[in-house]
Amino acid sequence: MLHNKTIIVGVTGGIAAYKACDVVSKLRKQGASVHVIMTEAACKFVAPLTFQTLSNHFVISDMFAEPKTWEIEHISLAKKADLMLIVPATANVIGKIASGIADDMLTTTVMASRAPVMIAPAMNTGMYRNPIVQENIQKLKTLGYPFIEPVCGMLACGDEGDGKLADVDTIVESVEAFLAEQKQNPHSQMKETAFPKITDQETLSSTSNTVPQDLKGKKILVTAGPTREPIDPVRYITNRSSGKMGYAVAAQAAKRGAEVTLISGPTVLDTPAGIRSIVRVETAAQMYQAVMDAFPDHDAVIQSAAVADYKPKQYSDSKLKKSDSDLYIELERTQDIAYQLGKMKGNKILVGFAAETDKVTEHAVQKIRKKNFDFIAANDVTKAGAGFGIDTNIITIIDAQGNMHAYPQLLKTEAADIILDEVAALFCRKEQKP
């Protein structure tokens, strides 16, 4: 219960502003005295009169409106508030608070307030993942501002992903839990006591993680690199894959919080930072076995390896001697790892790559169907800036429903993040429909 508690609810201009009405109503039902401050943009989404009626107090929005009696009131309010709750908090208001900007009633009150300021962000996924927004959030967290994390779901803009305002009940429960904790330990999260003394930028950035942790708790298996199919002790059949694409996927997935297992063919690349384990293999058969062993313990598999489709039928234990006649090496099929996983898929997410030289879309679509991929990243390896060995790629994402999105030339790390955005959205959809 929230009897004798004074809460200032700051409402900013996002479509989720209408949910703040419910928050105000529920806080009042819990016994809190609620005062609402709205930004100018918030007033475009919900009329101040709605909040006035729900809170039973005048709503403050315009800093320069007459009469100005509230000017004193809001300072005294800021002094006596037990908590400020910003719901929904847009990227804009988070940026302003993080930068010490106080240019409207809400941000000046935040600045003046000695009460803890709780922040419930809500915004489009792209904005939420923007490194600047993440840096601002991390800065505020480091300074002791409690956050009510947004959730993953269908956003008003039609995108699916994280950035959706937390559930109203979760917000109200978080407020109650926070204030109960404060009562027991009044200095636990008060800004003045909790704020670390940041003496230089390095200290702040070292505690900052600017990458959203949207794959936290997910186990992702990534295959990368070429395979080598030996002919004799000195010769083998391989392809041009360097492993860069798969290593970028593994590195970015680990940065986003996933537990990553990388199964790698022979490469000269360093093990990506933060991954859980790496299994180094040489042949398609070894990659097949490593993937099959790891598969049950993973939620998703991203298959960027260029696995040999054929291997020499006979391996010669000794070096083949040259003669004056031509040499014919009979090849036999390797096992198709992706095809096999497709048959065992269950509730897991399977992502493939398609390295094509012609009819890119047509061939990629056939592979999605045959191998039961959720989606495929097709790359035309004949294009400059795409494919083997280089640091960039040009991908088209095609999903099992036939939706298609072609991207321009990107760094492989950026292409990896696009693939991982799709994977995160698929996890999100699966969690909504278990």
Residues at the site binding ligand PMT, with contacts judged by CB under 6 A: 223, 225, 241-245, 284, 303-307, 309, 334, 336-338, 352-355, 367, 371, 379, 381, 387-389, 393
Beta bridge partners of 355: 379
DSSP 324: S
- The closest of 345, 344, 349 to 220, measured between CA atoms, is 349
Which stretch of DSSP H or E encloses residue 223?
strand 219-224
Nearer to ligand PMT, 81 or 397 (CB): 397
Determine the straight-line distance between the first and last CA of the chain, rounded to whole angstroms: 33
Q: Which of 21, 43, 157, 428 is the catalytic position?
A: 157
CB of 43 to ligand PMT, least distance (A): 49
- The closest of 232, 330, 338 to 284, measured between CA atoms, is 338
CA atoms within 13 A on the CB side of 271: 12
Nearer to ligand PMT, 182 or 303 (CB): 303
CB of 332 to ligand PMT, least distance (A): 12
Which stretch of DSSP H or E encloses residue 74?
helix 69-80
Nearer to ligand PMT, 174 or 227 (CB): 227
Nearer to ligand PMT, 38 or 220 (CB): 220
CA gap 409, 392 in Å, rounded: 7
CB of 240 to ligand PMT, least distance (A): 7
Nearer to ligand PMT, 48 or 246 (CB): 246
DSSP 147: B
CB of 306 to ligand PMT, least distance (A): 4
How many other β-carbons are positioned within 10 Å of the β-carbon of residue 423?
25
- The closest of 163, 168, 165 to 133, measured between CA atoms, is 163
Q: Which residue bears the tokens 């996924």?
A: 125
- Spacing of C-alpha 64 from chain mean position: 40
Whether residue 37 contacts residue 104, with contact meaning beta carbons closer than 8 Å, is answered with no
Nearer to ligand PMT, 92 or 261 (CB): 261
Nearer to ligand PMT, 143 or 390 (CB): 390
CA gap 366, 361 in Å, rounded: 9
CB of 104 to ligand PMT, least distance (A): 48
Residue 21 annotated to the active site: no
CB of 182 to ligand PMT, least distance (A): 52
CA gap 186, 74 in Å, rounded: 23
CB of 300 to ligand PMT, least distance (A): 13
Which runs of E-coded beta strand occur in 82-199? 83-89, 117-121, 151-154, 160-164
The CA-atom distances, in angstroms, between 90 and each of 1, 11, 118, 124, 150 are 28, 9, 13, 9, 11
CA gap 103, 7 in Å, rounded: 21
The catalytic site residues sit at 157
